Structure 1
Amino acid sequence: MRILVTGGAGFIGSHVVDHLLKNNYTVIVLDNLSTGNIKNLNKKVKFIKGDIRDKNLDFRDIDGVIHLGAQVNVRTSLEKPLYDCDVNVMGTLNILETIRRYDVEKIVFASSVAVYGDPKYLPVDEEHPKKPLSPYGLSKYCGERYIELYGDLYGIDYTILRYSNVYGERQDPRGESGVVSIFIESMLKGKVPTIYGDGYQTRDFVYVGDVARGTIMALNWKNKVVNIGTGKETSINQLYNTISDILDFKEKPIYSDPREGEIYRMVVNIERALDLQWKPIVDLREGIRRTIEWMKEYLRGTC
């Protein structure tokens, strides 16, 4: 089976590619390398440097598309909403049009829990109202609705995955990054990390290897919308304490003003994913330990 992965040189995408190869898929990666890194890619992969907005994409002989290519930074979406919309909405629509043109059977779409906005209840299930707080969350939700529409109109089989906060190896702390890698890099360099807000805001942190495994399983799920997380709520203060404990870092965090467009509490209901035989395996402490080992190599310039 031939699978094309958009954004396949990125943080999550490169892990998805590795898992696809382990499961004997033929993999083609489309990435413009704006945030991705060619060093992340296995040499067995056919690489196409291109943009999801390119009008001349060729999906000939492709059986399925895993669509991870996106603008993923909430702050960038607030500063450059037109750019965010162009990449995440128009880019996704262009992928769908190319899929339709070449009769590709399946799309798996990487969405986000950002589509929910501030939770009305916890844990958040897939039926929770959608009221994004940022252009990023809204653009992801627009992508979802286009995919569902194309499923209805043209019979394109889809799975939409709403990732919670993904962390792990290859998450570049200097790029469009998550709090885990930022904290780890700062502490390894002896710098005190900053927490925006009071630190009691919560997230559902899920390890990238578990996410990649679920994303490949989603190739066999038909017309589903599925949360991918752990179902466990962790505060930023707890996260800080876990990382500092593993690294034996003694300094207390610096607290600053909360950031615009970010939710306060989030944890997802993963019952639907469990029913589909996916579950998270790597717990937070072990995932952080693995990420620290990778970060040490990264900072030495060896990966």
Structure 2
Amino acid sequence: MDSVIDVSGLTKSFDGKRVVDDVALRVGKGQIYGFLGPNGSGKTTTLRMLCGLLTPDAGSGTCLGFDILRQSAEIKRRTGYMTQKFSLYEDLTIRENLDFVARVYGLDRIRTRVDAALDRLGLATRQRQLAGQLSGGWKQRLALAACTLHEPELLLLDEPTAGVDPKARRDFWDQIHALAGEGLTVLVSTHYMDEAERCHEILYIAYGRLIAKGTISDVIATHNLATWSVSGPGLHILSRELQALPGVDTVAAFGTVLHVCGRDEATLERSIAPYRNRPDLIWQRSSPSLEDIFIQLMSGLDNHNGAPTPSLPPAQGDAH
């Protein structure tokens, strides 16, 4: 698969604080890559360095075949970037906003391009509506139309579905997969695990470091996290008791069920054995979810002041 992005050693600091630390990344054409991580982890900074909006302090590589340090202007011309905050003009209509964006890009066939964008994203019947009167989901569609109007080769989406209802989120992802099917490469940062599972591959960043990457199944398999689910009465009390046991790395509530996870399977099973004999509790061996993996990763990092330790499996291979 052709590499649209191939960078290594990306590093960026602000006011003496290292926000991105030695990130290496290879991204294939026509794929959707999910950037995950807590607030302040360096996701947005990494995206901005890749598309030429920020110059890294260190590192090198290419994006769309252009050098990220010397040819950032060429990268920006071929990239669509959708920010988390709606940034179009609320006192203009949908069509007026798209017309304006087309003129800023200096595009030809403006009417044809705008008509196609309106049709593709289901905006044609609302084209005379003011952008400020749109709901979050419709604003999202307009923003996506605007950042793909110039037919980019790479699309960067910075938490695009924050505050959007589930139906609008699903519609948005249907559009993203349609664009990827046409050959567009997409990098999207998100906090939602269900959205991460819609990506072809994921990249997890914490404290500026890339600590996990690959397909969902690869990331889950790599971490060898033994997981049990338990349901019954008094789960809030049970959770506190289990968290204090040897071999129990994390305990997380999912509705009326607790997920009990540990990297040392034998120690975990010895610790929970007395609880499995309780008649009021129902225990089942289960597969870890993506969220289980990331809770465990963050727990390990937080316990070591953000520094990866040998007990945390390293990121495996390159995303490609």
Q: TM-score, length-normalised on structure 1?
A: 0.31
The structure carrying a bigger strand percent of its residues is: 2
